[in-house]
Chains A and B, each alone.
Chain A
Amino acid sequence: MLVTRSKFSDVWNLLRKHCLRNNQPVLVFVTSSVDALCSCKILTELLKCDFISFQVYPVFGYNHLKQLFLELEENRTQWEFSLFIELGATVDLLQLLHWKETEISKYLFVWDTQRPYHLRNLDSRNIFLFDRHSQESWAKQVKTLPFVGLENEYGLVLQPSVLEETTLYEDNEIDITDADATASVEWDNESCVSLSWKYSEDETSQSFEELLSPNNNRITQHGSTDSENSDHNSKRIREALLYYAKPEWDACSSSILTYVLARDINQGTISHLWLAILGLTDHLLDSRILRRDYEMQISFLRTELERYQSTTTVTEDLSHIGMLSTSSNNWDKENERNDHGSKSRILYSIEWKLELMRLWTFYDSLMHSCLFVSHLATWKQQGQRDILELLAILGIPLKDAKQTWNHMDVRCKRLLQSKFSVACRHFGVHDICFPSFIRIFGDGSCFSAMDMVLCIRSLFLGGNTRESMDAFWKAYDSLVDSIVLFEGLQRAIYFQRYLIEEVAQVADRQRILSCKHFRYILWRECSVQLRCLLLSPLYRSFSVMIGETVQRRNIFSSKKPLLFLARVSPDEWQVWCLALIGHTSTVSPFFLYFQQTIVELLPHVRIEQGRLVYFVENGYEKILLRKLQSL
């Protein structure tokens, strides 16, 4: 069932009440992503406020999750509530874990931004999906949901033969307009601003039984049961296919939702706010959120920032990008080790899309920025000449541009502040700026949200499960430990350079092969570094960068989904699709057909991350490609 925005605090208070009464720990399952870590941190801090025991388990796929639950059952661990962070919304959790709804008295709270929801989760009494929508907007959406029951636990519709009978597109298909799209992703700012928190033990508004009553956000049975009519059946199947066709993300990060919960129950702090900022930035960097939704969230966070800090002075506003920071030492490691909190300030800032700008040289950040790489192909000589020309237009000597940011001449920084955006337009780079936040630590050093996310992400690089586990905890520690974060910085720089090399290879050697409805890239052999990259959560950043390079450099005239196939082990191929969000509002036939082809090959396909990534047995990737090419 869905927990709408206004019910967050009620449901959470019920969890608190039950846990304090029964003294059972809360199990927390969290995936490897910055947003998930930030949400986990916020939620565990909320549990700590009430001295509720919890146990945190990193999860690396749904098979791993099943294994964890088997172990919990064998060990007879007693629990009543569990939190799923950035996993669980798109799969039928009860079926996955082999539970029968009537037999269990456990509750699963899911904080996941992946969409679409698995319909069985919406229908379940034991699963609570926390969603940013209000009651009213959800009531409208419920009416458009397809028939429940045609999909498996991973949301794959299991009637492939029906594809031959139905047309993927009908003549009277209506494209979603921008207005509709805006309405459907509107952040419910009213309930944020006018919220008044009221809680006391005596007046807890609802018990779980009341929450589970039919009028409370569960999708009721819809669609009639007279399934004899085959046209009706086909229509239902087609609706289900379209519903589940394309994996997407909600227009909000789970860390913002958890922050909103913290604020609702009056436990929000500035540290939580910073974590929410990091989570949102993680979504932006992976192109999981539209620009307008991102800006809406940023304005909300900016309002929230004013609650914790005095209003920034005019001087601080002008000194965005920390350009007037003259601290010679980036880090006082010993003093900063446990001090991510009290001595630091957070400032709103208009940032440039230059990765790690403050942490290495301006020239390097230009050469390795995803934006400039995709626009100018900086791996080529022409691209490098363009960069030099840009510096010349700005009036910045190359020698100064190759200084680390903190040691760069202040006059050059002032030139950048006044001229950089304009100069970039000369080279066709129009969206260099984006609103964000920076954090200024006690010693005066400055860290942008983007850079911090990149540093934490780079710590996720790992190959096998053991390395992934160590990487997870290192990334978790980096949220509070400066020394670990500094290690992440070194890796982030290495990773950024490596990313450009790989993108250059793909773009230059024309490894992108084109078909009628899609394009694909094939890696028959993966180096160790590439394998580590693809098996980590960073695979998406990599594919987004390739997709954006392809698009911005107009390598092809039309936009099509991009399919990636990489042989990550002798027995398996990792397969995933990329469709940059906002590029198409209707579902391409490719996604429908891709889903159905996967269904046909199911015995030879391993699903670990919902329908985002598939692992196909060696030999079957050819069959997959052949079927998709015949579309």
Chain B
Amino acid sequence: MYGDHATALVHHLYKSSTLPPYNEDLVRQVVQEINELYIRLVQLLESVNNDLADPKIGGTAIFFHRVILRNKRCVLAYLLDRFYRLRDSGNLSSVDQLDEHTSASEKQLLAEYEQLVATYSDNVQIDVSSSLYPPQALFLQVKVAKDCGTIMTENGPVHLRKDTLHYMKRTDIELLIQQGYLLPIS
């Protein structure tokens, strides 16, 4: 039935609280449906010479038009919501997300967005990508989600091995938290 693919696309995103992998197949199917419906609409209008006086023809044309608009809205909503999730997660440069869950155009978008943010931050001399809220504590407890190797801290080198828990100064690990290598634990 028309619009099923678009509905499935929206459901796919709605069901997951985190960012799911980019569903290229479904998006392609929806776009294909849009194109097919557009071609049929154009053919219909050409056949009646753009005269929609007949209610049946008019109704069909409006139906096709509405479905096209709905599919378009669903796809745009899908893409926009994915972008918001990526942006709000703070993991713009997260290796996992770039490789596994995003499409090529999303990767390009994220790279350009990050560049834009960096340029703006340089211009105004403020890091706008950091947290808006002041830190609650000097130290933070974090779990290492991905091997970070050895980092230099104020108190010497610290090796951040995967699946270990660390209690360290926030300033030493803030960037790694933003990049998704470390997960803060309350």
Chain A contacts to B: CB under 8 angstroms: 23-25, 44, 47-48, 51-58, 71-72, 75-78, 338, 469, 473, 476, 480
Contact = CB atoms under 8 A, between A and B. Distances in A.
A480 B169 CA distance: 23
B141 interface: yes
B146 interface: no
B165 interface: yes
Contact of A72 (B159, B163, B165): B159
A338 B158 CA distance: 29
B168 interface: yes
Interface of B: 138-139, 141, 143, 150, 154-159, 161, 163-169, 186
A473 B143 contact: yes
15 contacts: A23-B155, A25-B155, A47-B167, A48-B167, A53-B155, A53-B166, A53-B169, A54-B166, A55-B167, A56-B164, A75-B150, A75-B159, A76-B157, A473-B143, A480-B186
B139 A48 contact: yes
Contacts of A23: 154-156
B48 to A, nearest CB: 56
A40 B167 CA distance: 13
Contacts of A72: 159
B168 A53 contact: yes
Nearest to B150: A75
A57 B143 CA distance: 11
Nearest to B157: A76
B167 A78 contact: no
A338 B157 contact: no
Contact of B157 (A51, A56, A57, A78): A78
Contact of B167 (A44, A75, A77, A469): A44
B173 to A, nearest CB: 11
A474 to B, nearest CB: 12
A77 B186 contact: no
B159 A77 contact: yes
Contacts of B141: 44, 48
B157 A55 contact: no
Contacts of B186: 338, 480
A24 B167 contact: no
B17 to A, nearest CB: 12
Contacts of B156: 23-24, 78
A58 B165 CA distance: 9
A75 B158 CA distance: 8
Given A25-B155, A47-B167, A53-B155, 15 more contacts: A25-B168, A48-B139, A48-B141, A51-B139, A53-B139, A53-B167, A53-B168, A55-B164, A55-B166, A57-B161, A57-B164, A58-B163, A71-B159, A72-B159, A77-B157
A23 B161 CA distance: 20
A71 B161 contact: yes
